[in-house]
Structures are given as C-alpha cells and as structure tokens.
Amino acid sequence: MVHTGATKGRVVFLVRLRPGAEDAFLEAYETIRHEVAGGVAGHVVDQVCRLRDDPERWLITSEWDTLERFRDWERSPDHRELAAPLRACIAEAQSLQYDVVAETSASEVHG
C-alpha cells in the first residue's frame, strides 16, 4: 500500500555504547520505552537491537503516526530529561528520520 498525505514515520537511532555501558543502557531504555508507550501521542512501536557480532553497536527504531509527533516529543523538556541516562551510555550516535512510503504486512501477502 502506498501512502498519500500525512505519512507514518520511522526513526532509526544508530549508537555505539561506551565500553561496559550495556546494562545501564538497557536499564535506561526500559524506562524510556514504558514512558513513551504509555503516554506519548503518536508513538506506535519501538525496538532495540544489538549487532550480533559487536555488543557495543545498537539500533533503536520507532514508528510514529507522523514524524511531526516524534519531533514534538523530541523537542520537549520531558524527552531531554528522560533520555539523559540513555545518552550518558552512548559514545557516538546517528539519528535518521524516514517517511514511510510503502508498507507490506504478512496478512496482505498470505490473504
């Protein structure tokens, strides 16, 4: 299905952790994900993934009903406060924001 008009957004956060920061990073992520899932308008789903062969490299993805909703939350004081413990674990990071142009679900393929 190709979307027109306001589109969903996908945010990709690529990070390299500080050595030995994995436990603190996961603890901070747990706090953030529950806060966001329970009360941030526009949030749909998120995932945290570890690169199989490099335990310091991680990926956080999140889906939003629009990127504008993500940007509103990202600019909020609540976001900065909530994300501070997570950011303290990160040696380097890159944040990418995508508009979802097309999407396929298993139910579309398998009827």
CATH for 35: 3.30.70.100
Say if 36 falls within a structural domain: yes
User: How does 17-49 read in b/e, with b if 16+ C-beta sit within 10 Å?
Assistant: beeebeeebeebbeebbeebeeebebbeebebe
Say if 107 falls within a structural domain: no
Residue 15: the pLDDT is 98
Under 8 Å between Cβ of 32 and 86: yes
Question: How much is the pTM?
Answer: 0.85
Say if 59 falls within a structural domain: yes
Say if 109 falls within a structural domain: no
Residue 5: the pLDDT is 57
- Which bin fits 5, alpha (ψ -120 to 50), beta or left (φ > 0)? left
11-60: per-residue pLDDT in tens? 999 999 999 999 999 999 999 998 898 889 999 999 999 999 999 999 99
What are the two backbone dihedrals, phi and then psi, of residue 109, each rounded to the nearest 5 degrees? -80, -40
Residue 83: the pLDDT is 93
Number of domains the chain is built from: 1
Residue 99: the pLDDT is 95
The domain in which residue 39 lies consists of 9-101
Residue 3: the pLDDT is 47
68-111: per-residue pLDDT in tens? 999 999 999 989 999 999 999 999 999 999 999 998 887 766 66
